[in-house]
A and B are shown apart, each in its own frame.
Chain A
Amino acid sequence: MDLFLAVTALLTLALVLAFLYRPLGDYMAWVFTSERHWRIERLLYRLSGVHPERQQSWRTYLRSIIGFSVASLVLLYAILTLQQLLPYSLGLPPMRPDLAFNTAVSFVANTNWQSYSPEQTVGYVAQMAGLTVQNFVSAAVSMAVAVALIRGIASRGGRSGLGNFWVDLVRANLRILLPLSIVAAVLLLAGGVIQNFSGFTNVESVAGITQTIPGGPVASQESIKMVGTNGGGFFNANSAHPFENPTPWTNMLEVFLLLVIPFTMPRTLGTMVGDQRAGYALLLTMAVIFVLVYVPLTGFELAGSGSAPQLAGGAMEGKEQRFGIIGSTIFATATTGTTGGAVNSMHGSYTAFGGLMLMFNMMLGEVAPGGAGSGIYALFILMVIAVFLTALLLGRSPVYLGKRLGVRELKIVSMAILVMPTLAIGGIAVCFAIPQVQAEIVSSMGNSGSHGLSELYYAFISAAINNGSAFAGLNANTPLLNIVLGVIILLGRFIPIVLVLMLAGSLAQQGKAESTLELPLHRPQFVGLLVSLIIFIAAPMFVPILLVGPFAEGFIK
């Protein structure tokens, strides 16, 4: 029965995604290549003084992104620290500066690490005008970077630039994210997700206790939270909360919404570079890793050892009864494989090896299928190494889609693969090296020993890779952790963006390269090599923490 359910859930998702792969992927390619501007877009450009026809070099493109992100950061920080002045603030006080910094950074960086409990901390206007707006635009920035990279690959040299960031930003929002999330919000509403401005309602329960039930414009935020692979919930319980995710089918809908953009991006790449097989290879890689995580994860949770799990038919601690094991594991696989970070179950309560799989999925660099946009550019970085190795084994120097991957490209890629592990491991090491800091962090852990360490490791990895989900148990809302994790999130977002745009610029300069051999880069063996390499590159850095964390916990005798 469980097996049937597990397979059905996976196949249903696969089927729906496969059905949308072509139309949505091509639609996105059209959005980013169309010559025509919508009237409202032209109005926006005129108001903001943007010249939509102006091509940007990678430097200009990067400057636009940095400028936009800094402005977003300042604005969001202001909203959060001044929210008592805004309407619908529900009488909530302003955010503490360290928390506001952490929150602003994490929403601008498409991470949505939430140190705070939203229903007790932010009012409706701050949620909608601050956080939800960032949910849209931060996802659009990721997509813009991905599209710039694709243009770099597709360019045939000369003076062609990487496009125009402002146009990409506006179009990603108006033509892709907004329509998708409107449809999603309506579906979620139909499924029972709430949408109101009624603040807190006091009700008397059957047992005679007075409960305070929070309301709010949930559906509108929930939809973009998933579609934009953001993950910042309206409530602290995130998608485990019945007002965010009421039924098994809204659960599957939310999983689908998380995956839909990143899984169709390969088609966009294929269409824009004019070689669909390149897209299929990327798609297949994403899918293989997804399954490689989903299957053992589900197995570990179903088999959970101990008497309680055996009575419950699985490790049900921290999971919602209405989703069950499968509904939880597929959601968890999707949320750790994208930069989503929404949760419908408490990851810290997974079995030791289940928790290991979730951490592992993030360690791979969020490529299965990754964030909306960031997934494909992260995967491309790793793929350059696989192309390099494949070409060498065939006695050639690497050429991918007519671009020679030379010294400059390899240097950029070599740097890029170090960023996330260095931030995560380096961050932990530096914190633990200072005794007072270590003491403070240890006191924030919800558990002692290996499990407590896993909570902390998870938090640092989640921040470095911009995931935003938490292992739970750790009280991250301390000034120290807010600032440390905030800085890691910021670097984890922008260093890769700089490197990816450098790579795009370097590729855009090149003309088409001829080769005596078309590398078999769309073949299963290449996908196999790529998957192995992704695991190989991630493993060494994280093996020690996996050993003393989840492995030590799981192998306890």
Chain B
Amino acid sequence: MTSPLRRNGVLTSSAIDEVLIDALRKFDPRYLWHNPVLLLTEIGAVLTTCIAIAEPFVGGAQPSGGSVMPPGFTWALAIGFWLCLFAATLAESIAEGRGRSQSEWLRKAGNSIVAHRVCDYDYTKDRAARKATLEEVDSHELMPGDVVVVEAGEVIPADGEVLSGAAEIDESEFTGHAGAVIREAGGDKTAVTGGTRDLSDRLVVRISASYESSAFERTIRLASKSRRKKAPIEVAFSALIASFTLSFVLVSLTLNSVVSPVAPPVSVPILVALVVCLIPTEIAALMSVTGIAGMSQLQRRGVLVISSKSLETAGDITTILFDKTGTVTKGNRTAIAFRPLSGEDSAELMRFAALASVEDPTPEGASILRLAAESNIEPKATDTEGGHPIPFSAVSRISGIDLANGTKIRKGAASASVTWLKKVGTQPPRPVIEELQAITREIAKTGGTPLVVVLKPAHGPGRAVGVIHLQDVIKDTVPERINELRALGIRTVMVTGDHELTAKAISEEAGIDEYVGNSTPEDKLALIVREQERGHLVAMGGDGINDAPALAQADIGIAMNTATSAAKESANMIILDDDPAHLVDIVKVGRKQMATRGALLTFNLANDVVRYFTLFPALFVGVFPGLEALNVLNLHSPASAILSTVIFSSLVMIILIPLALIGVPYRSTEPRSMLNRNLLVNGFSGLLVPIIGIKLIDLVISLLPGY
């Protein structure tokens, strides 16, 4: 049992004891109450044990259906039923243990972290919190909005955003990827996860989620079944299982009455055996295992599944909507060219652009400085001394600097720049505006973003100098994954607030099926609703605050780890390493989980067919010797046939645990051949395994005296 589990990393040897004990703990009827099929098995086991204890006092085992049962038969059955129950609870324990062990370290760390909270944090005056007083608090007491300082080597106490500083963070325990990642203030890499370790530098972090609601803690909770909500297919499954279970219970309860005119009654332990062997115990026990297994498979690949329901939906997704920035493209755009307007000097443009970017903390700003430096244009510290930086705001959509000499420099979107010029009293002449428009359109067509540089000297009119060409960089893995998604039958749509032409260029380069440019957050939401009304199941990948409503509306909201906390809160899944390649994994794991359930059901149904033949003829062969003709496996005796079937039922569950955890391979092959293969493999093995298994057990049992 242990070798396949160990080999697949299911369990470490130290965890095995714990899992075994946990499995026994699950015998508690209050726990089994939520899983009626297992509860029924337990009731049967208790009943049979009581009968076994009572038997010596009432004159030995009762004959059943005209056959005399061998000594110790009732005890053997009782032990068999307990084994069946144990195998079932073991399955759940293993799955839960697996989910737990992955997050155990954090739990330990989470208990002992001391956080350094900043008192009276002032963002504008003391961003790095060097002068502020720090107080030590328990990480569990941190509230959203608190600001903490994390020194190199410390563990980050809770989810949050970096306000100041940059550091290498080890997220490997969390994402499963070796190697550190950079997290820094400004730009799109501000999000840090509680429980990860700061390897290099001092950081100031604003906490975005309390310990209880942190993404990690929620996963831990999901991993333990008590808080896990049943997903729709699981509920549908439960209905079907309940129906099958009821029918077998009904058969057993009515059996003696129905045959009473011609046959003596079948004994209670054997009626219990009928129920325990035929009800779908395997499926009832393994259903939750497949759910947990799917989630931990994704987690090992670096995707945090917050709702188990969404994983089930994942396999059915027909449309995926991407937000452009951060999902399709790397969040930071890079400056690749300066385009001076006619009559302007290229070096001048570079110098102004660089000046405007010196105080700009964003990666775009840094890339502008880099590009200017390549042409040996580097602003001196004296140039900007005494200047007043103007940070970017969503309202003005423009940023820059007011120099000490009175010159104001701005860079921003074309329309915003023109508006600013008008505001400072300059109406740019028509030819200039036309030229600006021509250049910006040209840049947008290639998927770039134009940034217009304008300035207003202390004296004299303002003017436009030129355009900075920022280029979106598509993430390396994107085009390949888009193709894979297409192979999975999924339509991809990119939505962005960028210019239509930019959207077109980027989506063409990435191979995305459709694009929507110039869209507001409301447009994204409306697009999702429209798709859903047409019967599509929509996944949405996004990271901005603006994406939150869309993420919540989508059937699955997938946020990148660098996303704002609002977006993460609305999402069902978080891609921890920001690699959109995992979208393919999510869909595949979703489908694989379904296919595994289908395989288990098929296997179980085929199993039952064999069990009819081993159980039912044995019931009445004592009265109707002719029924021996139906004993197709030629089992040794009625008692042996029944006992072998019971023992087989407990063993088969243990065989199935690794299958449920690992899942059946999902290949995106042609559906007909996939159906054929799954039906044949599971149907035939479902017939063959019990035929061989029960026969072998019967051969062993037949050696016992009396059987």
Q: How large is the interface on B (under 10, 10 to 19, 20 to 34, 35 or more residues)?
A: 35 or more
Inter-chain contacts of A425 with B (CB < 8 A): 250-251, 254, 258
CB 8 Å contact bits of A521-557 with B (1 = contact, 0 = none): 0010110010001001001110111011001101111
A453→B262 contact, CB < 8 A: yes
A555→B258 contact, CB < 8 A: no
Q: Which of A438, A511, A557 contacts B535 (CB 8 A)?
A: A511
A408 (CB) vs chain B CBs: closest residue: B236
Min CB distance B146 to A, Å, is 42
B247→A541 contact, CB < 8 A: yes
B404 at the interface (CB under 8 A from A): no
Q: How far is the CA of A540 from the CA of B245 in the complex (A)?
A: 11
B595→A516 contact, CB < 8 A: no
B594→A407 contact, CB < 8 A: no
A132 at the interface (CB under 8 A from B): no
Min CB distance B338 to A, Å, is 46
- CB contacts under 8 Å to B, within A423-438, are 425-426, 428-430, 432-433, 438
| Given A394-B671, A395-B592: A407 in contact with B232 (beta carbons within 8 A) | yes
Q: Which of A407, A414, A432 contacts B243 (CB 8 A)?
A: A414
Inter-chain contacts of A390 with B (CB < 8 A): 598, 675
- CB contacts under 8 Å to A, within B216-266, are 232-233, 235-237, 239-240, 242-244, 246-248, 250-251, 253-255, 257-263
Inter-chain contacts of A519 with B (CB < 8 A): 671
Min CB distance A405 to B, Å, is 8
A552→B626 contact, CB < 8 A: yes
Q: How far is the CA of A555 from the CA of B623 in the complex (A)?
A: 12
Min CB distance B666 to A, Å, is 6
| Given A396-B315, A407-B239, A449-B262: A551 in contact with B594 (beta carbons within 8 A) | no
| Given A536-B608, A552-B627: A421 in contact with B261 (beta carbons within 8 A) | no
B674 at the interface (CB under 8 A from A): yes
B197 at the interface (CB under 8 A from A): no
Inter-chain contacts of B598 with A (CB < 8 A): 389-395
| Given A397-B316, A557-B625: A547 in contact with B601 (beta carbons within 8 A) | no
A410 at the interface (CB under 8 A from B): yes
A513→B535 contact, CB < 8 A: yes
B262→A548 contact, CB < 8 A: yes
A520→B672 contact, CB < 8 A: yes
Min CB distance B347 to A, Å, is 55
Inter-chain contacts of B536 with A (CB < 8 A): 514
Inter-chain contacts of A385 with B (CB < 8 A): 240
A516→B488 contact, CB < 8 A: yes
Inter-chain contacts of B261 with A (CB < 8 A): 432, 438, 442, 452-453
A552→B239 contact, CB < 8 A: no
Q: How far is the CA of A433 from the CA of B253 in the complex (A)?
A: 11
Inter-chain contacts of B92 with A (CB < 8 A): none
Q: How far is the CA of A540 from the CA of B616 in the complex (A)?
A: 10
Inter-chain contacts of B239 with A (CB < 8 A): 407, 410-411, 414
B254→A552 contact, CB < 8 A: no
A514→B602 contact, CB < 8 A: no
| Given A396-B594, A397-B232, A422-B250: A557 in contact with B258 (beta carbons within 8 A) | no
| Given A407-B236, A513-B535: A540 in contact with B247 (beta carbons within 8 A) | yes
A544→B675 contact, CB < 8 A: no
B254 (CB) vs chain A CBs: closest residue: A429
B233 (CB) vs chain A CBs: closest residue: A397
Q: How far is the CA of A296 from the CA of B676 in the complex (A)?
A: 28
CB 8 Å contact bits of A301-326 with B (1 = contact, 0 = none): 00000000000000000000000000
Q: How far is the CA of A402 from the CA of B627 in the complex (A)?
A: 47
Main secondary structure of the interface of A (DSSP, over half): helix
Min CB distance A425 to B, Å, is 5
A429→B253 contact, CB < 8 A: yes
Q: Which of B240, B246, B312, B675 contacts A388 (CB 8 A)?
A: B240
B620→A547 contact, CB < 8 A: yes
Main secondary structure of the interface of B (DSSP, over half): helix
Q: How far is the CA of A394 from the CA of B678 in the complex (A)?
A: 8
Inter-chain contacts of B488 with A (CB < 8 A): 516
B299 at the interface (CB under 8 A from A): no
CB 8 Å contact bits of B661-674 with A (1 = contact, 0 = none): 00000100001101
Inter-chain contacts of A544 with B (CB < 8 A): 251, 255, 258-259, 616, 619
Min CB distance A155 to B, Å, is 13
Q: Which of A393, A536, A541, A547 contacts B617 (CB 8 A)?
A: A547
B624 at the interface (CB under 8 A from A): yes
B303 at the interface (CB under 8 A from A): no
- CB contacts under 8 Å to A, within B587-622, are 590-595, 597-599, 601-602, 605, 608-609, 612, 616-617, 619-620
Min CB distance A109 to B, Å, is 23
Q: How far is the CA of A466 from the CA of B595 in the complex (A)?
A: 38
Q: How far is the CA of A389 from the CA of B601 in the complex (A)?
A: 8
B259→A433 contact, CB < 8 A: no
A385 (CB) vs chain B CBs: closest residue: B240
Inter-chain contacts of B666 with A (CB < 8 A): 395
CB 8 Å contact bits of A429-460 with B (1 = contact, 0 = none): 11011000010001000000110110000000
Q: Which of A396, A433, A533 contacts B257 (CB 8 A)?
A: A433
A392→B594 contact, CB < 8 A: yes
A516→B247 contact, CB < 8 A: no
Inter-chain contacts of A402 with B (CB < 8 A): 535
B247→A421 contact, CB < 8 A: yes
Q: Which of A394, A432, A442, A536 contacts B675 (CB 8 A)?
A: A394
A418 at the interface (CB under 8 A from B): yes
B490→A516 contact, CB < 8 A: yes
Q: How far is the CA of A533 from the CA of B237 in the complex (A)?
A: 16
B259→A548 contact, CB < 8 A: yes
A399 (CB) vs chain B CBs: closest residue: B316
Q: How far is the CA of A515 from the CA of B555 in the complex (A)?
A: 14
A540→B591 contact, CB < 8 A: no
Min CB distance A503 to B, Å, is 13
B250→A547 contact, CB < 8 A: no
Min CB distance B255 to A, Å, is 5
Inter-chain contacts of A274 with B (CB < 8 A): none
CB 8 Å contact bits of A9-30 with B (1 = contact, 0 = none): 0000000000000000000000
A429→B263 contact, CB < 8 A: no
B236→A410 contact, CB < 8 A: yes
A512 at the interface (CB under 8 A from B): yes
A417 (CB) vs chain B CBs: closest residue: B243
Q: How far is the CA of A339 from the CA of B489 in the complex (A)?
A: 44
B128 at the interface (CB under 8 A from A): no
Interface centre among A397, A417, A442, A449 (most CB of B within 10 A): A397
* 19 A-B interface contacts by CB (under 8 A): A389-B598, A389-B602, A390-B598, A392-B594, A395-B590, A407-B236, A410-B239, A418-B247, A426-B250, A514-B534, A518-B671, A519-B671, A520-B672, A525-B675, A540-B244, A548-B263, A551-B626, A552-B627, A556-B626
Q: A-B pairs with the 8 shortest C-beta distances?
A: A555-B626, A392-B598, A395-B591, A516-B489, A429-B254, A414-B243, A410-B236, A393-B598
List 14 other contacts, CB 8 Å, given A394-B595, A514-B534.
A389-B598, A405-B236, A407-B239, A410-B237, A425-B250, A429-B257, A438-B261, A450-B262, A453-B259, A514-B537, A536-B609, A541-B251, A548-B623, A551-B626
Q: Which residues of A contact B (CB under 8 A)?
A: 385, 388-397, 402, 405-407, 409-411, 413-415, 417-418, 421-422, 425-426, 428-430, 432-433, 438, 442, 449-450, 452-453, 511-520, 523, 525-526, 529, 533, 536, 539-541, 543-545, 547-548, 551-552, 554-557
